[in-house]
Structure 1
Amino acid sequence: MKYIKIKENGINVVFGITKDNQFKLLHFSHTDFNEEDLCRPSAECKPEEVSRREQYIQEAFQLVQVNLAGYNRPFEKHGNKHIVTAPGYLLRYVDMEDTNNEIGRKLVIIQEDTAVTKTRVVTTMQFYKGTSVVRFHNQITNVGTEAQTLEYISSFCYTGIEKEGALSSDDKMNMWIPYNGWQKEMSWKNFSFSDLGMAQTQPTVTQRTSQVIEITNTGNWSTKKYLPMGYLENTEAHTSLYWQIEHNGSWHYEIGDQNNNYYLNVSGPTEIQSQWYKVLKPGESFESIPVAVGVAKDDFDVAMGELTKYRRMIRRPNRDDEELPVIFNDYMNCLFGDPTTEKEFPLIDAAADSGCEYYVIDAGWYAPGEWWDSVGEWKESKERFPNGIKEVTDYIRSKGMIAGVWLELEVMGIECEKAKKVPDNWFFVRHGKRVFDRSRYQLDFRNPEVIAHVDEVIDRVVRDYGAGYIKMDYNIEPGAGTELDADSVGQGLLEHERAYLRWLDGVFARYPDLVIENCSSGGLRIDYALLSRYSIQSTSDQEDYRNYATISANAITGVTPEQAAVWSYPMKNGDKEEVIFNMINSMLLRIHQSGHLAELSEERLALVKEGIACYKDIRNNIKDSLPFWPNGLADNKDTWLCSGIKNENKAYLAVWKRYAKEDIWEINLEKSLCAEGKSIKEVRCIYPVKEETEFVYDMEKMKLTVTFEKQVMARLFEIVIE
């Protein structure tokens, strides 16, 4: 076995080239490589049994799993696992290029199967300076003379995720799964392998089972059930492995066992899970979706910090994420999709007076009455705006704010007159019929006529309506894909999604300072295919500000703080503490102000103004800070919760109480803020300033103790670090 060892940005990578020229990924970790870890001790495989170890390596540790239809898979597979793929196990090493570019180090590994399937697979690993994250993708090319049907290709494949340390996987491996859903975004849960059905039940023989941990999305809502992420920790070896899938559609990852090791495979759509396959004609290539994978010590905060740095590196440079302007949107706990000129003017005055810098007219501006099933042409409603919507956007500008409007460009309602006139190839089609969901059709962005239609809308709202901000919503799920002009419905969906990304790139090329918010019924498309382009993300449509605190506290796991838009919507009949709680939900992220500001009492409106002014004082620190959770991630059942952001000299901590039985809560800041010789010089409450806040910081114990006597309270603290 020939080893190739690479150390870069705190990542230890070890490849192996076997005697029959197979290329293996043997190690990808924060820790150093130990050859004996490759074959777990058992009656069948003791460390000194080199031949058995070599057999295990021969059958597993592929750098890439790729499966074509019609070829044998001879080794142990069991069930739906994407292992022992062909030509995955048939590939032989050809070459590796090791170069550097302006981003960082780049490895390109070439493998071929010239004997059976006549395919070439090229793996690209891009390192990023300053963070322990690598971006992977694979490209397969048919170099033969016959067509091949591609059923699966991994973007990242790593065997031996548990191999460091002597303990059983039951005793050391934990998996964090990020559940997501409408009004339930960013809900992480921690499991042992045995909790997920992967208990070690064959400790003395080669472990094989049909069980596999599968986290999958199928469809165009990329995060309707999970964020496209995962986090693994080995508590014995003190290592972690984490990843994000950068795709705006169907994706899959799995953890299973093979030959006394566990593996992680991460991919885009698959035939088994997503009704996807792609026919590769001679000379044709297919590229997998990109996946970012990182390593760290077993510290969730550190891992999320590394991902935050990486996300900033891959994101389109834009002014919005540098300046973090305050946005007012007229929807939540306000007009709720029923705007008119008469209703907007007093809200515009109140928003401007409160310090908002953008003003967004949300849904309903394009049609009178009930508009859900008639959307699609996006022309102003004269019933709602008798003198045209430009009268309102001009008034917004006269108040020193930038105007915005709501769009849902990817759909047409079934009662839209244009939808009735255009051909079926404008839309997703399955079984010969247009795909329906919630009285809408899904537009197909592969169609040039569809692109012309949506470009006309964008140009019109920017040019004629004066919009500098677009809230781009998306409220349907069209399922597995479309059968038109595609080998499979999953491939039709994938091609549409890649066409949508190209269209977005074209929009930003024409309008580089246009702010477009990514919204999908709140946070149902929180993925970095979209967020590497969009500057801001709606985190939720959660309508209860007390429940929103959980989403707010955990938001930075899924998106950088400067991209995470959180509603603040004071209630008409609330009290001062309700306003404060609402404001603090958004103040370490991006303020999406709403609520009937023009109808609030003076003292409650003053708290909104104070919160926005405070935000403007600290927002320059938000854009380069990293997250921390001193008392752990928030859960929907928590009665106390907190989260913070930090840089070298300052940290900001939001603390919430919601119906806790006790009034006192202790927060340990040592691990989060006092590592590496640092200490806390000062802790002060910066919002609200005039309301009573009882707290004590113990410098010796490095603990902040807060006393919140009311049932529902929140406070924002600034912490000076030296």
Structure 2
Amino acid sequence: MATAPVAEAVSLDHRLGDVVVRLEFADDGPVRLVGLVSADAFDASRPPRPRVTPLVELSFAGESHVRHSHGTRHRNYAATSRLRLVERVADARRLSVTQRDPETGLVVVTTIESTTPTTVAIASHVTNEGAGPVAVEYLSSLVLGGFAEAVEADVFRRLRVHTCLMAWTAEYRWRDESLADVGLVDAGIPHPTSSTRTSYSFGALGSWSTGTHFPQGAVQDRESRQLWMWQLEHNGPWNAELDDVGRDVALSLSGPTFRQHHWSQQLLPGESFSSVRAVVAPVVGDVDDGIAALTGHRRAARAAGAVELPVIANDYMNCLMGDPSTEALLPIIERAAAVGARIFVVDAGWYADDAGWWSTVGEWRESRARFPNGLVEVTRRIRDLGMIPGLWLEPEVMGVDSSALGDLPDEAFFRRAGRPVAEQGRYHLDFRHPAVRSRLDAVVDRLVAEHGIGYFKLDYNVNIGEGTDVDASSLGAGLIGHERAYLAWLEAVRERHPGLLLENCASGGMRADPAQLGVTDLQSTSDQEDPVLNAMIACAAPSVIVPEQAAVWSYPQPHYSDDLNDFTMIQSVLTRVHLGGRLDLLSPAQLARVKAALSVHASLESFIPAAVPFWPLGLPGWQDEWLALGLRSGQRSVVAVFRRGGTATVLLPLEGRATILHPIDRGARVSEEPNGLAVTVPATPGAVVLDLIG
């Protein structure tokens, strides 16, 4: 371990795994992050270029910028300019830099640590060591420049920006744009600290962390093949910003901000706050390589050991659709067991006497109208057939007409200006309040004890907006406090019930962020009901969710053709199977096709958690006629190919000996050509799974 006082401006390089971090220290300014690159791209002989991107950006109430940044940019804050180095501590895995603002006494400790050989995590911890209160309005997770290290003024031509768009039933849509496309151009400004005073900003508002964008993206130099893939690990609002700095650009990432999210955190003397954590994978390669690096980080962060991939049958999607009953469920349960499901989940509606249950949720006791002999009759049958019973819960809300409203004090609900916050007929519970956690603990414990529940689908169907002002210095502070308390509650549930499986869901993928996935077992990828549209979602989901956590709906139907039933089943073969559809109405021949697809999935149970995803036809577009998702481990690749239109044959730029795993009876063909594999799928829509060696 080394501690280095700094007497004059100096650049120091520190290697964390295969990532080189270059910092610049000076007596007359804050510590600056000069570069963050893969060791493969690092040239120690090249002198560092002066940078204007600080290691951390910080802003307080009552003051703003010291240069021409205007209100749209989170750059050049006055508090940042006052930060001075106190200490630098480094070892082989971690680099920690402590700075202090002499005016307020605020101390910021920024830590960069290796999480895998190709990824580093960055976060800052702020403590008020001054004499009076300070209200923090912005605290960055990462400020990264240095993209123009080797290209100088060419940066605006060479760099590409990759972002992932999200929407309900239209998740995981990647966009590849130039700097000009997002509004950043070289305006010929020669001074290295000047800019056009604009920015490209995106993120999430309210409590749906992935409602409009996924907190992941990349900056790419197409000519040098350097790429910086990043993600933010937070289950609430966040912000990403790209802006020009002279003839370079800077990327700023953060959790909630005052400007975008009504967030400020008042720190009394002795109090602290930690930023959202950012993870960066600087690689030499393409977007697939960046995603592979983040896939490795996500797996290392969970460190769960052996991963099993049981087929999960669920009565909701294209099946009972929130209207379960003993009579309706029993034949579906029988069929689910017959095709090999190992978990059966009773989804929404089990707690209400009629379909108008939206505004009455919160009691979490079964409806006697739906289950005359109690829910235990259903859960016992699930267990008797060798499956684990699962149940749907929406723990963070309580309906405005719920019979359980009197169980909690007013302060246990989100409130603004003294009034409870109602959104679409639901009140929002605040998990900072001990009464909320205690009540939900009792609900979970009772359902586990009474029904042997081994799986909870935890849904979240409202975006509660800015937050709550109960016991908080701002609405946003109340929201992030709740979000962190909810994650801690999930971890406590897992500790109390070690074998319990937890599914994360928020109207499908509206809160599919890395923070939630760090404490749950799998993620419902979408609520999309159309199997043709869902194919794009299924192919793209592993770009942001590890394949063994990406639960994709497959919903075979009696009125579907054999090709369409194969098409929907193949969508989940390379990830996690969420089996819906009317299994009880399928013919024996149709059931046999379902079982055939599930047998392919079962054969890949040890392969999937060890493989990294790739996209032979590029990341899928919403209207692409052909889609392809591959998983690769060692010399083996398994590729799912989907035809949604166009000609019957597509060329995959892949090499190797290919065989068809499924289906083998629908006329699909694959042949080796000089420039790749020619795959023919006669039907549209149609799909095929290929096994490649080499």
**TM-score bracket relative to the smaller structure:** over 0.9
In structure 2, relative to structure 1, the CA distance for the partners of 1:318 and 1:182 (3 Å cut) is farther
| 1:197/1:35 CA distance change after superposition, 3 Å | farther
Q: 1:704 and 2:677 equivalent?
A: yes
| Counterpart residue type for residue 95 of structure 2 | L
Which residue is 1:346 aligned to?
A: 331
* Structure 1 Cα separation of the partners of residues 272 and 409 of structure 2: 31
- Residue 209 in structure 1 maps to residue 188 in structure 2: no
Tell me which amino acid in the other structure corresponds to 1:534: T
| More off after superposition, 168-177 vs 27-36 | 27-36
Q: Does 1:108 align with 2:96?
A: yes
> What is the CA-CA distance between 1:204 and the residue it aligns to?
4.9
Q: Once the two structures are superposed, what CA deviation does each residue of 1:154-194 show, in whole Å capped at 9, x if it has no partner?
A: 01112233333245233101001100111011000111010
What corresponds to 2:217 in structure 1?
Answer: 230
The C-alpha deviation readout for 1:525-570, integer Å capped at 9, x for no partner, is 1111111110100000000001111111111111000000000001
Which residue in the other structure is 2:664 paired with?
A: 689
Q: Structure 1 516/421 Cα, relative in aligned 2: closer, same or farther at 3 Å?
A: closer
Instruction: Please say if residues 667 and 682 of structure 2, whose CA atoms lie closer than 8 Å, have aligned partners that are also in contact.
Output: no
For the pair 1:82 / 2:74, whether they are aligned, the reply is yes
Separation (CA, whole Å) in 2 of partners of 1:532 and 1:107: 23
Please give the alpha-carbon distance, in whole angstroms, between the structure 1 residues aligned to 2:622 and 2:582: 27
Instruction: Kindly state the Cα deviation for residue 99 of structure 1 after the two structures are TM-superposed.
Output: 2.7
Alignment counterpart, residue 447 of structure 1, candidates 433, 437, 447: 433
Kindly state the Cα deviation for residue 710 of structure 1 after the two structures are TM-superposed. 1.7
How far residue 21 of structure 1 moved from its aligned partner, in angstroms, is 6.3
**Alignment equivalent of 2:112, drawn from 101, 125, 130:** 125
User: Counterparts of 1:138 and 1:90 in 2: how far apart (Å)?
Assistant: 16
Pairing 1:29–2:37 present: yes
Q: Does 1:93 align with 2:85?
A: yes
Instruction: After superposition, give the CA deviation of every residue in 1:276-330 in whole Å (9 maximum; x if it has no partner).
Output: 00111112111111111110114111110010010001116276xx111111001
Q: In the TM superposition, what is the alpha-carbon distance from 1:106 to its structure 2 partner?
A: 1.1
Distance of aligned partners of 1:170 and 1:454 in 2 relative to their CA distance in 1, 3 Å threshold = same
Please give the secondary structure, in 1, of the residue aligned with 2:606: helix
1:317-371 deviation line (CA, Å, top 9, x unaligned): 276xx11111100111111111111111111111111011101111111111121
Counterparts of 1:65-80 in structure 2, within 5 Å, are: 65-71=57-63, 73-80=65-72
User: Residue 516 of structure 1 aligns to which amino acid in structure 2?
Assistant: L
The residue correspondences of 1:98-497 to structure 2 (distance < 5 A) are 98-100=90-92, 105-114=93-102, 116-129=103-116, 131-166=117-152, 168-202=154-188, 204=190, 207-315=194-302, 317=304, 322-369=307-354, 370-420=356-406, 422-497=408-483
SS at match of 1:16: strand
Equivalent position amino acid for 1:25 in 2:
L
TM-score between the two structures when normalised by the length of structure 2: 0.96
The CA deviation at 1:621 is: 0.1
Counterpart AA for 1:487: S
The secondary structure found in structure 2 opposite 1:543 is: coil
CA contact (8 A) 1:162 1:234 kept: no
Deviations 1:594-643, CA, capped at 9 Å, x for gaps:
11112112222111011111111112100110011111010111011101
Structure 1 residues 454 and 479: CA distance shift in structure 2, 3 A = same
SS at match of 2:294: helix
Residue 79 of structure 1: CA displacement?
3.3
- Displacement of 1:447: 0.9
Query: Corresponding residue for 2:24?
Result: 16
Distance across 1 between alignment mates of 2:82 and 2:45? 24
- Residue 324 of structure 2 aligns to which amino acid in structure 1? P
Q: Distance in 2 between matches of 1:443 and 1:29?
A: 43
The Cα RMSD (Å) is 1.6
Task: For residues 128-150 of structure 1, give each alpha carbon's deviation from its aligned partner in whole angstroms, at most 9, with x where no partner exists.
Answer: 24x31111110111111111111
Match of 1:697, as an amino acid?
Answer: E
Kindly indicate whether the alpha-carbon contact (under 8 Å) linking 1:352 and 1:399 is maintained by their aligned counterparts in 2.
yes
User: Is the 1:78–1:208 contact (alpha carbons within 8 Å) kept by the matching residues of 2?
Assistant: no
Secondary structure at 1:80 match in 2: coil
Letter in 2 for 1:468: G
Do 1:182 and 1:523's aligned partners in 2 also have CA atoms closer than 8 Å?
yes
Question: Match of 1:236, as an amino acid?
Answer: E
**Counterparts in 2 of 1:36 and 1:82: CA distance versus 1, 3 Å:** farther
Of 13-22 and 619-628, more deviation after overlay is shown by 13-22
Task: Verify the 8 A CA contact 1:575 1:604 in the aligned structure 2.
Answer: no
> Over residues 378-409 of structure 1, what are the superposed CA-to-partner deviations in whole Å (9 max), with x where a residue is unaligned?
00111111111111111111111111011111
Matched, 1:714 2:687: yes
The AA in structure 2 aligned to 1:685 is I
Query: What is the alpha-carbon distance in structure 2 between the residues aligned to residue 719 and residue 581 of structure 1?
Result: 20
**CA distance, structure 1, for counterparts of residue 48 and residue 69 of structure 2:** 19
Query: In the alignment, which residue of structure 1 is the partner of 2:568?
Result: 582
> 1 CA distance for matches of 2:440 and 2:693?
48
- Report the alpha carbon displacement of residue 261 of structure 1 after superposing the two structures with TM: 2.3
Aligned to 2:592: 606
Residues 312 and 341 of structure 2 are in contact (CA less than 8 Å); yes or no, is this contact kept in structure 1? Answer: yes
Unaligned runs of 5+ in 2: 1-8
Matched residue of 1:323: which SS? coil
1:621 aligns with 2:607: yes
Cα distance in 1, alignment partners of residues 257 and 338 from structure 2: 52
Match of 1:674 in 2: none
> What amino acid maps onto 1:91 in structure 2?
L
Q: Deviations over 1:228-285 (max 9, x none)?
A: 1111101122201111110000111101122332111111100001000011111211
Asked whether the equivalents of residues 234 and 298 of structure 1 are also in contact (C-alpha less than 8 Å), the reply is no
Distance 1:522 1:431, change over 3 A: same
Alignment deviations for residues 461-495 of structure 1 (CA, whole Å, 9 cap, x no partner): 11112211111111011101001110000000010
Deviations 1:64-101 (A, max 9, x none): 0011123463223233211112321111112122135x
CA distance in 1, matches of 2:66, 2:387: 65
Distance 1:534-1:570 versus aligned 2 partners, 3 A rule? same
- Map of 2:56 onto structure 1: 64
Q: Secondary structure at the match of 1:196?
A: coil
- Residue 122 of structure 1 deviates from its aligned partner by 0.3
Gaps in structure 1 of 5+ consecutive residues: 40-52, 671-679
Matching residue of 1:46: none
Q: How many residues align?
A: 682
**What is residue 499 of structure 2 aligned with on the other side?**
513
- Which secondary structure does the structure 1 equivalent of 2:607 belong to? helix
Q: 1:638 and 2:624 equivalent?
A: yes
* C-alpha contact (below 8 Å) 1:376/1:413 kept by paired residues: yes
Cα 1:261–1:37 change in 2 (3 A) is farther
Contact 2:29 2:82 in 1 (8 A): no
SS at match of 1:553: helix
SS of the residue 2:131 aligns to: coil
TM-score by length of 1: 0.92
Aligned match of 1:47: none
Distance in 2, matches of 1:425 and 1:664, equals 62
Give distance in 2, aligned partners of 1:162 and 1:608. 52
Corresponding letter in the other structure for 1:88 = T
State the distance in 2 between where 1:275 and 1:8 align.
36
- 1:210, distance to aligned residue in structure 2 (A): 2.5
1:203 CA drift (Å) = 5.5
What is the alpha-carbon distance in structure 1 between the residues aligned to residue 283 and residue 303 of structure 2?
Answer: 26
CA distance in 1, matches of 2:351, 2:390: 14
What's 2:5 paired with? none
